[in-house]
Amino acid sequence: MDFDGARGSREVVELRLQIENLESRLATLKTQLAVAEKKDILTKSQDDFVAKPSIKPGTEDSHGALDFTNLKRGTLTEASHSRWPLQNEEYTRYGRQMILPEVGLPGQLRLKDARVLIVGVGGLGCPAAAYLAGAGVGTLGLVDGDTVEISNLHRQIAHSTATVGMSKVDSAIKYLSSLNPLVRYERHPEHLAPSSAIDIFSRYDLVLDCTDRPSSRYLISDAAVLTGKPLVSASALKTEGQLVILNNPPRSPRDPAGGPCYRCVFPKPPPAESVLSCGEGGILGPVVGVMGVLQALEAIEILVAGPIVSDASNGTVEAEPARPTLLMFSANSQPQFRSVRLRSRRKDCAACSSAATISRRSLTSGLLDYQTFCGTVAPVDMLPAESRISAAEFSNLPSDSRGVLIDTRDETQYGICALPGSINVPWTGDAKSWAAKASSLEDVARAHGPAHVVCRLGNDSQLAVKAFQEHTERFEAKDIRGGLRAWREQADPEWPDY
């Protein structure tokens, strides 16, 4: 009896175990099925989008889109071979985020299946890429044509002293691979060009604009609209940052329910002379870091939320209305964050409206010149040769012929390094009042010989010399050509190169 009883209970335990195993396998399959079904809806809507009459059949673009869907399906089949949908290591690696109800297994599978393109691997792109790689985004594409410079390292955390001189894309991939080798990294070590943007964007699900100039922002927005990709865009300068999610939901051009694009918000580019780069205006590392991390967060939220789910009972797709916002961050303001409502799609937008004039063809054929559209600041060259002196010539002048030396950089830069005996009169932009102020200074008024004017790169100093000539009586003023950069090259190699 005892023997039989023991055998009986062992059988019960084994049967229970088998049922448990099968049930857990069934649960996994159901989850995978749900994900696969949602994926199918997304794929179909993308196919619809590609099939829109405005897009010429047989171009490389539609070919790219086909490759993209095949790839996605391939990944899913691959995953369903094993007993668990993720590799064992992935449960451990991503467990801390997977146990969040917002992510869960379906969210993690969507991340794994996602293909994200990061354009610009600098102060924004480095932290964004790090967090997306860490989170287990399946494929990360990186676009950047620059090489790593030592002045990047205070904020571009994926690069290192050892990778100075290396392509930013390769430097970042080196860092990211050691962070998470399970991610597939795709190299695009070139500047994004209109001719290739559509082809590249077509191969991804979502795009991050981590670039640093208006021309690339318009190009990225146009390409995102034309390929139907949501766009997470950020920027930063000095102690401030801005974040906006564009073309989300990424409806086809002409569908007003889609999110606005960059051109809807900024139909005209800013005057080139109003645009400051990080090299000119400065940037605090954690400020641009915050913005890049926020881009990663927004990307994860979009990917984990998954595609729009159809209501199976009546077959209609529920349209989630776009609620576009601009998030502004300012390190020195209280509160530091502020979110404001933006407009929806513009009825006459050149990219995303029914009146759109920008097409795949206008990008791929090179008809659109984004540089010209955004303008460039021509180097200042306004003075006759006799009003200029080279840094080498100036350094060879006997000290009694140097006259007075005026430095027009701001107080902060002047405080970093200044030529002995120079007088700091920061350029204000107002020629008349600047000339009045400079000529009223005792050291300037008393000086014998010409006033020499120097600045960082030799632009403001020319404006200042012209101001002297036009608004004061007695001054012979000369510009030190090429500013303190030329001074370093021609006269003093130890001059700080900030």
Partner 1 sequence: MAESTSIPLTIEFTGGLELLFSNQRKHKVDLPSSKQSPNVADLITYLCDNLMKDPRKDMFVLDGTVRPGILVLINDADWELEGQETYQLQPRDEIVFVSTLHGG
Instruction: Flag whether 168 is marked binding.
Output: yes
- Annotated catalytic, 374? no
- CB of 122: closest distance to partner 1 in angstroms? 6
Position of tokens 């991390």?
293
200 binds, among Zn ion, partner 1, none (CB under 5 to 8 A by kind): none
Instruction: Flag whether 144 is marked binding.
Output: yes
Residues 430-459 that bind partner 1 (CB under 8 A): 430, 432-433
- C-beta of 173 vs 234, nearer to partner 1: 234
Name the active-site residue from 126, 210, 374, 455.
455
Burial of 478 (0-12, 13-18, 19+ CB in 10 A): buried
Residues 133-162 that bind partner 1 (CB under 8 A): none
Could you tell me the CA-to-CA distances from 312 to 37, 40, 41, 202, 471 in Å, in that order?
11, 14, 11, 29, 76
- With binding defined as CB under 5 A, does residue 264 bind Zn ion? yes
- With binding defined as CB under 5 A, does residue 349 bind Zn ion? yes
Binder among 111, 225, 288, 463 for partner 1 (CB under 8 A): 288
- With binding defined as CB under 8 A, does residue 238 bind partner 1? yes
**Can you read off the two tokens belonging to residue 262?**
């960059």
- C-beta of 97 vs 353, nearer to partner 1: 353
Instruction: Flag whether 264 is marked binding.
Output: yes
Instruction: Flag whether 177 is marked binding.
Output: no
User: Which x/- pattern, by CB under 5 A, does the window 222-261 give for Zn ion?
Assistant: ---------------------------------------x
Instruction: Flag whether 314 is marked binding.
Output: no
Whole-number Å distance between alpha carbons of 326 and 125: 19
Whole-number Å distance between alpha carbons of 460 and 429: 9
Binding window for Zn ion (CB under 5 A); candidates: 28-36, 192-200, 290-298, 348-356:
348-356
Q: How many CB atoms lie within 10 A of CB 338?
A: 11
- C-beta of 35 vs 287, nearer to partner 1: 287
Binder among 242, 362, 390, 472 for partner 1 (CB under 8 A): 242
261 binds, among Zn ion, partner 1, none (CB under 5 to 8 A by kind): Zn ion
Residues 323-352 that bind partner 1 (CB under 8 A): 326, 328, 330, 333, 338-343
Name the active-site residue from 126, 210, 278, 374.
278
Instruction: Flag whether 210 is marked binding.
Output: no
- With binding defined as CB under 5 A, does residue 358 bind Zn ion? no
Spell out a b/e string for 342-367, using b for 16 or more CB atoms within 10 Å of the CB, else e: bebbbeebbbbbeebebbbebbbeee
- With binding defined as CB under 8 A, does residue 298 bind partner 1? no
- With binding defined as CB under 8 A, does residue 266 bind partner 1? yes
- With binding defined as CB under 8 A, does residue 240 bind partner 1? yes
- With binding defined as CB under 8 A, does residue 92 bind partner 1? no
Residues that constitute the known binding site for ATP: 123, 144, 151-155, 168, 212-213
Binding site for partner 1 (CB under 8 A): 120, 122-125, 210-214, 217, 234-238, 240-242, 265-271, 273-278, 281, 283, 288, 326, 328, 330, 333, 338-343, 428-430, 432-433
Which positions are catalytic?
A: 278, 455
Known binding-site residues for Zn(2+) equal 261, 264, 349, 352
